[in-house]
Chains A and B, each alone.
Chain A
Amino acid sequence: MPATFAAFIDPLLRMKLELAGLTLADAETMRLETAQRSERTTTNEGRHLAETNKTVELSEAPTLLALPPQQQRAVASSLGLQGVVATTLLVEAASSGGLRFELTLELRALANGGQQLRVRCVEAYESPEETATILANCVGDGVLAARAPDALIGRQL
């Protein structure tokens, strides 16, 4: 998914998934190795002047997201996670001449790979921010309608 769209879709979608009762573990923040941290504070004092500089360096460490799908599932199972959520954004030319965006969310069980939930929303393209927000909100509300209808929040977009 393009980063621009992901930036608008992911936060909203994750929030709605948690509102629907799912506890999420974000694959991109789960480090497989400990990152190395180096902090340096330098203080310079002269007759009339004192200044302090602080720098922090953190090494890159691979995350769960970097693993191939098979290994991702193995690690996720070892942590007691029960499912994998994947989203796909499809863009195609609409018959009216514009662009047609389609966002699909799939929740699959880790144990057998069986599909537990699939929600799909389609929207004509307006702008990255608006189209992504409307699609994410629509798919999120779809998940809520299926799993926790009493938690549907706010007015429909």
Chain B
Amino acid sequence: MKRARCTLAWLGVLAVAGCSVDKLPPTLVVHHVTSSQAQPKRVIVLPPECAQAWCRGEGALVAAQLAFRGIEVVDFEQLAARERVRTVIEIEQTSQTGTGSDQARQRTVSVVGPRLSDADLWTQRDALGQLGIDAIVRVRTTKLSTWPVRALALIRVTRSADASLVVSSACEAEVSRADSEAEMMDRALRCALAGIAR
């Protein structure tokens, strides 16, 4: 009986070992361009291509890393393209009840007008110069739906004046099919960030 249990346990260990395949270490490719021009001091991170919440998180992750390294990150979504109109309406209601009075208040704030992220491409291009933004950061991630599944992330910094490359870091990482897309992309992106941080 004891021997049978022991055999079963060993079979279980072998089955688990057979099913778990080691993933290859991530592949990282980094291009640093040595130039006589000064390193960028003020940058914008372009909005992600996809609309999911985790895509916005990717941009925020890269922006945080750049800010930590002393680079000022300008967010076009926080800046007004021109004067915006703000209207506040407050409604207060008081009703008498047997035990006293009840109060209800509604406050509606409307803000109408574009932010720089909504502006046409010429306005955005002019804003780059006016705000002293010397580089543009593009973050791209994608999933390679093959076997094994891989996630690929690219962080690319180019000068806003002439689109010349400052640094580019790409990472391909094998990921698990059980992971969510956010987890897959996060793994590849953090690997690419390590290349930028060098």
Interface size grouping (class) on chain A: 35 or more
Q: Evaluate contact between B49 and A130: CB separation under 8 angstroms.
A: no
Interface size grouping (class) on chain B: 35 or more
Q: Evaluate contact between B168 and A18: CB separation under 8 angstroms.
A: yes
Q: Evaluate contact between A19 and B114: CB separation under 8 angstroms.
A: no
Q: Evaluate contact between B150 and A134: CB separation under 8 angstroms.
A: no
For residue B27, which residues in chain A have a CB less than 8 angstroms away from its CB? 153-154
If A37-B118, A38-B110 touch, whether A79 touches B125 (CB-CB below 8 Å) is yes
Interface secondary structure of B, over-half rule: strand
For residue A45, which residues in chain B have a CB less than 8 angstroms away from its CB? 104-107
Q: Evaluate contact between A14 and B140: CB separation under 8 angstroms.
A: yes
Q: How far is the CB of A139 from chain B (nearest CB, A)?
A: 13
Q: How far is the CB of B181 from chain A (nearest CB, A)?
A: 12
Assembled-state Cα–Cα distance A79/B31 (Å): 26
If A11-B49, A11-B140 touch, whether A133 touches B146 (CB-CB below 8 Å) is yes
Identify which of A25-33, A90-98, A100-108, A110-118 touches chain B.
A25-33
Q: Is A15 located at the chain interface by the 8 A CB criterion?
A: yes
For residue A36, which residues in chain B have a CB less than 8 angstroms away from its CB? 112-114, 118
Q: Is A66 located at the chain interface by the 8 A CB criterion?
A: no
Select from chain B the residue with minimum beta-carbon distance to A56: B111
For residue A38, which residues in chain B have a CB less than 8 angstroms away from its CB? 110-112
For residue B103, which residues in chain A have a CB less than 8 angstroms away from its CB? 46-47
Quick one: CB contact mask for B132-150 with A, threshold 8 Å, 1 for yes?
Answer: 0000001011101110001
Q: Evaluate contact between A130 and B145: CB separation under 8 angstroms.
A: yes
Quick one: CB contact mask for B147-158 with A, threshold 8 Å, 1 for yes?
Answer: 000101010101
Q: Which residue, of B113, B140, B172, has the highest number of chain A Cβ atoms within 10 A? A: B140
Q: Evaluate contact between A23 and B163: CB separation under 8 angstroms.
A: yes
Select from chain B the residue with minimum beta-carbon distance to A64: B121
Q: Is A86 located at the chain interface by the 8 A CB criterion?
A: no
Assembled-state Cα–Cα distance A112/B50 (Å): 33
Q: Evaluate contact between B114 and A34: CB separation under 8 angstroms.
A: yes
Interface residues of B in 139-191 (CB under 8 A from A): 140-142, 144-146, 150, 152, 154, 156, 158, 163, 165, 168, 170, 172
Q: How far is the CB of A63 from chain B (nearest CB, A)?
A: 9
Option from B47, B107, B152, B163 in Cβ contact (under 8 Å) with A12: B152
Interchain Cβ contacts under 8 Å between A and B, 10 examples = A12-B144, A18-B156, A19-B29, A40-B110, A42-B107, A42-B109, A45-B106, A58-B118, A79-B125, A133-B146
Besides the known contacts A36-B113, A153-B170, A154-B172, 8 further A-B residue pairs in the complex with CB atoms under 8 A apart:
A11-B140, A34-B114, A40-B111, A42-B106, A44-B104, A46-B103, A80-B163, A129-B145
The 10 nearest A-B residue pairs measured at CB: A154-B172, A11-B142, A23-B163, A35-B118, A129-B145, A45-B105, A30-B121, A39-B111, A15-B140, A41-B109
